[in-house]
Structure 1
């Protein structure tokens, strides 16, 4: 489908999905959330796509939050539906079998940080700013932020960020484990593409199963998580990629994975 507020480029198996509303610092409105939901579904179904990178247009913002002008006149029912819509986007990204990297090139605030946290990991510009300013507007995060941040950094740090509404620097986000690595702004996207290419050259069925094991294992006891991991490990031995990967190792050649 044609997108009004998204740019989608697929090159060499890497999909770059760019939120493209720079005039509003890429703020998320209902229309854009619908486009994101469609784009994620499209990328999940596209067998040519191996890895997805999510970023924002322009030099100032990844996504500076949800569209406050649109939210300001919502009724409680409309606000509830808006939150559910944002959560569907977040959950669709988290449940993708394909790896998703966030390239945070500027402000990642409110819904923008929630979008980044939905990705498998975050690379950020060393000038990025991250935060949940919702309480300064009399509300709270609604796209999964209270749940995903607390699981990532623990309730203490999540409470501090969410209760204060203060932004944190890229350096603090790195120290807290919110982001994986920092890069100069001009190198950020190329570094994300470099990592995406590395991931794309592996056995992607195994990557998808590992993503499943990590995500679902967090909601299990450790013993149940071990059992779930072992079951997925066994299933992978029924795939062509397992045979190709191991035979290539034994034969001292590069594996040619097929995704089957």
Structure 2
């Protein structure tokens, strides 16, 4: 069953929630289609001042559909990279302040979603990271670009090359999270942070966000294109196919 994207407008707060029966949320093709439609609605909305991305269950978001990754070739890998990048860039360009409320595991494309948000809050029991190199590929939805832009190349290398899911405290130290709250207080704490933002002047928030996004060095569109080309080139080597098969078969990859 595809992860469902549920949008709720709650006064000045827009809530985007990922929902799956088994609690493991992945960005399948159908989910990406739903996400794009949700972003259409958010982009057309003039009333929201804060958007909260959240979910429930065993993961915040586990990223791309591993079975879809298994079937890619160099051409389709490029297409899916650009498709995912555009979704994340649309999140980054949203007018309201965006919050990723990360209660559990946040991996791959889920982590890339959070990096496109303005603020990332984590529950103490969450883990997050970019594990793509462990299956022979790279983060292809803006992960290499945004980690370098947000944290600098040195920290970005630690995050991307390690391919680990970092515990909340470690993620906080790396900058992947802005704040960590106790699990039992997490939902209330996120609501409190949203209320704090709503108490600020809307035009001040909107203008500050736009200016801060524009100050990051480099042409992000060019950098994302380079990432998509590199993501696709991995598939020409056969290593991602072996890496995904090894992951699914619970064995060590034979590089």
TM-score, normalization by structure 1:
0.79
Indicate if the aligned counterparts of 2:3 and 2:27 stay in contact, CA closer than 8 A: no
Match of 2:83 in 1: 85
Q: Distance in 2 between matches of 1:193 and 1:105?
A: 13
- The ranges of structure 1 where at least 4 consecutive aligned residues each deviate by more than 4 angstroms after the TM superposition are none
Tell me whether 1:212 sits opposite 2:227 in the alignment.
no
- 1:85-128 CA-partner distances (Å, limit 9, x unpaired): 11111100111111000001111111010000100010001111
Indicate if the aligned counterparts of 2:12 and 2:50 stay in contact, CA closer than 8 A: yes
Which of structures 1 and 2 has the larger relative contact order (alpha carbons within 8 angstroms, sep 6+)?
2
Structure 1's 53 and 47: CA in aligned 2 closer, same or farther, altered over 3 A? same
The alignment partner of 1:179 has SS state of: coil
Match of 1:70 in 2: 68
Indicate if the aligned counterparts of 1:44 and 1:98 stay in contact, CA closer than 8 A: no
Q: Which moved more, 1:39-48 or 1:86-95?
A: 39-48
Give the counterpart of 1:120 among 115, 118, 133.
118
Q: How does 1:100-139 map to 2 (within 5 A)?
A: 100-139=98-137
The structure that has the greater radius of gyration is 1
Q: How does 1:1-260 map to 2 (within 5 A)?
A: 5-23=4-22, 25-58=24-57, 60-219=58-217
Q: Distance in 1 between matches of 2:162 and 2:199?
A: 42
The alignment partner of 2:99 has SS state of: strand
Q: Distance in 1 between matches of 2:132 and 2:169?
A: 22
Indicate if the aligned counterparts of 2:128 and 2:171 stay in contact, CA closer than 8 A: yes
In structure 1, runs of 5+ residues without a counterpart are 221-260
Q: Distance in 2 between matches of 1:24 and 1:174?
A: 24
TM-score, normalization by structure 2:
0.80
Give the CA RMSD over aligned residues: 1.7
